[in-house]
Structure 1
């Protein structure tokens, strides 16, 4: 097994196709009674994510004038994106009852940082701590939704992944829902780390950079917001 992460690439077309084949193989694993007992349902933690997001929004409003430049900056970021965050919160809660689908084994976090590359086009997924039983969109959003702002996946790369994955009928509601949950989770959690005074300054700065990326034009908050609003127009 290689130790070269896909983030450090470069990824060939063969790697992208193998990525899709690997996701398809994961989703094809038979769901046994034992797996049903061991694996949580994907997205089941959304109520706590919604609560954490609302708590963070209130915390930043209360601390906006604390005198800490980083707190002031993050408070401004959240204020500027308050409409998007509200849209995601409403979407997650409103669509929760309709997001169920065929439960398959999902890696839960198959972004390029958890993908290792082999010299011959092979790929491996690592870090299975977030494995869940969920609809395929729980994993496919990392390809179709664009979770990492600093590593966007092009249309050609998406096509290569889907060619390897095989036939799939992606449900736009489930895709938008999983994107929105992930966006809220990342935004609140990375903001929490950036505000933590017990964390090294360099780590706080890194967390703040990730928050900025999340709300950038190619960031997950932006993409999830667009997906939820597009879904609203269709419904």
Structure 2
């Protein structure tokens, strides 16, 4: 999408007269485009995305308006809405956070504890009944993953290009793991549900003088283990990598008896989503070699390896 059109939308929808636009490239969400947008007086993060659901923005707005530290407020449209729609994608605006991704900078022990506090506050929030009832109870990514997996398998029968050929070899090598993820899903948990971010790894945490949890597209109403799973192994350097870091996070999070069966379920589901999603990107782009490397890591020593080893 061209800058001229985006500037027009921001002026018409949000009354923002943008003087400078800078594309921001980060993450696995190829359905989204993000910009740093500067006006004469302020700087904003602008996102145009077809991913996730509307409820993610509603939750972020509820938490931000409630004054929960670490959740950016949503900038309203001229008509008071949380987003506008163009080409069937949502255009949203939040204040720009001039920080670094925690996945790049890492977190100190003190910051890990701070992150535990932040995630606990999200989980303890009590949304209005109407918002609570509107929240997804199941992952929108999980729902479409089997179809994408079938497409990947079909493409790998006759791989085109060096990356696809190597991916086919990887899928063959780890066939037992992928088959397990596809067919041997543990029972879904039935514990109490709370607001869950759905994707709270360090790639979605910005660090300046405090921590900010961003990208609420995957919000879900689920047992809190949906989020806690990301802290308990298998996520590499986008989760705790040492016992000290994990202890600091759990100390900040506070008392909770972790349901290991629920952790097992959410780890299994996420591993399948990641293997399939990154494999699809390795075939279709962008950044095919990088996506291939991610798939290898997930299967060899990451979330998939941990999910399957727990069943043996």
2:306 paired residue number: 223
In the superposition, the TM-score normalised over structure 2's length comes to: 0.64
Structure number with bigger Rg: 2
* Aligned counterparts of 1:88 and 1:136: Cα–Cα separation in 2: 22
2:27 paired residue number: none
More moved, 125-134 vs 5-14: 5-14
CA RMSD of aligned residues (A): 2.1
More helix by share: 1
- Aligned pairs for 1:84-103 (under 5 A) are 84-92=177-185, 94-96=186-188, 99-103=189-193
Paired residues of 1:149 and 1:216 also in contact (CA < 8 A): no
1:41 to 2:125 alignment: no
In the superposition, the TM-score normalised over structure 1's length comes to: 0.83
Deviation at 1:118, TM superposition (A): 3.1
Change (3 A) 1:210 1:91: same
Change (3 A) 1:124 1:47: closer
Deviation at 1:21, TM superposition (A): 0.5
Paired residues of 1:43 and 1:178 also in contact (CA < 8 A): no
1:156 paired residue number: 244
1:110 to 2:200 alignment: yes
Q: 1:50 aligns with which of 146, 149, 157?
A: 146
Paired residues of 2:101 and 2:203 also in contact (CA < 8 A): yes
* Aligned counterparts of 1:28 and 1:216: Cα–Cα separation in 2: 35
Asked which structure has the greater RCO (Cα within 8 Å, sep 6+), the reply is: 1
Deviation at 1:144, TM superposition (A): 0.7
